[in-house]
Amino acid sequence: MIPRYSRPTMTAIWSPESRFKIWFEIEAHATTALAEIGVVPKAAAETIWAKGKDAAFDVARIDEIEAVTKHDVIAFLTHLAEIVGPEARFVHQGMTSSDVLDTCLNVQLVRAADILIADVDALLAALKARALEHKLTPTIGRSHGIHAEPVTFGLKLAQAYAEFERSRRRLVAAREEVATCAISGAVGTFANIDPRVEQYVAEKMGLTAEPVSTQVIPRDRHAMFFATLGVVASSLERLAIEIRHLQRTEVLEAEEFFSEGQKGSSAMPHKRNPVLTENITGLARMVRGYVVPAMENVALWHERDISHSSVERMIGPDATVTLDFALARMTGVIEKLLIYPANMQKNLDRLGGLVHSQRVLLALTQAGVSREDSYRLVQRNAMPVWRGEGDFLALLKADAEVTAALTPEQIEECFDLGYHFKHVDTIFARVFGAA
């Protein structure tokens, strides 16, 4: 985790203090469940909770013990025994390390998912507000980076809103996918621990019991989780690149907010660069980079190995912390985005009306001209305008073959900008609802 690209609420989930607190809760709940079914004394379970629930686990002490034991869970249990006393012998009865590690990881991923879902909600709110603000602001749509036909800036933002609404649904599904608990003992057979303990711990930790574990929770669940984060990151990059393109000097239809005192370049005082969306683009690459290791973790040896462990210790915190930061940054970009309708109109007009070529083509076909001839006539008049030679409307009116099929008034009608926006309300109703 890089502090520059981290936010405290998300990083707190992955701190050693949080991890050891979760480990304690898992162990203590399991001991309580064992007490309820008569395996360990109830008084012992009560003592463990009483002495451990408010304990400040000493991270340095646990690290000191681990330096000798070379085993993190044993180091924690040894330190817990120092806090709890003799009753600590009833902790971890019939359990294996993966019961603690995997259940803890899934608790952390669920909590991280809750933050990410809230992040997306904030971004959705920002996108909706700006989309409604610019619902009918005309701008040029581009295909292959080339002027195509008119759209509205609100439609651009509505498209992004719909995409992140899908992202939210995917995150909810990913959260559910990893919200499982395994307290099934060595190789997952429950030989030394009752399945009721697993059910109890799952309920207390806000999870569901894993239907069948080996000695680990199956890693296809985690692969799906991190793949979802990669998709969300890709959607962020898509929106970031759109803003970066729109901020190019030759376009300048939208621009990141530039605050008082901000500097764009150490060499060129005039510069205002899209640094935030460039940063988001880079962060998206990092989040996607964690997807392949997560997928490679699916294939473990037999009932378990720990080849996945080192991977998850890195990608769990890094992927969630990075995506959290990127989502929050994009929300700020959208909320403060500077939008220039006059420049949008100027760019719309740059091609001298060529953006209406399809309407002329269709009008000719509806007037009885073959599609092939209609295309030839429109293109014949469009290419000089493309080269900067003349006005498209004037050339069409001067073309005898065109005017043989269409009156001047019918040709002019093809240049109505509002024609392109007649279904904007329909699209907005689909995206945001009828209201």
Catalytic annotation, pick one of 265, 307, 310, 370: 265
The number of CA neighbours under 13 Å toward the Cβ of 342 is: 1
Is residue 18 flagged as an active site residue?
A: no
The answer to whether 320 and 17 are in contact (CB under 8 A) is: no
Is residue 308 flagged as an active site residue?
A: no
β-strands 146-152, 338-339 pairing: unpaired
Q: How many C-beta atoms surround the C-beta of residue 430 within 10 A?
A: 12
Look-up of token digits 């890709």: 234
Give dist(CA 72, CA 89) in Å, integer. 17
Catalytic annotation, pick one of 71, 92, 144, 357: 144
For the chain, how long is the longest CA-to-CA vector? 103
CB burial string 380-407: b at 16+ within 10 A, e below: ebbeebeeeeeebbebbbebeebeebbe
- Active-site positions read 144, 265
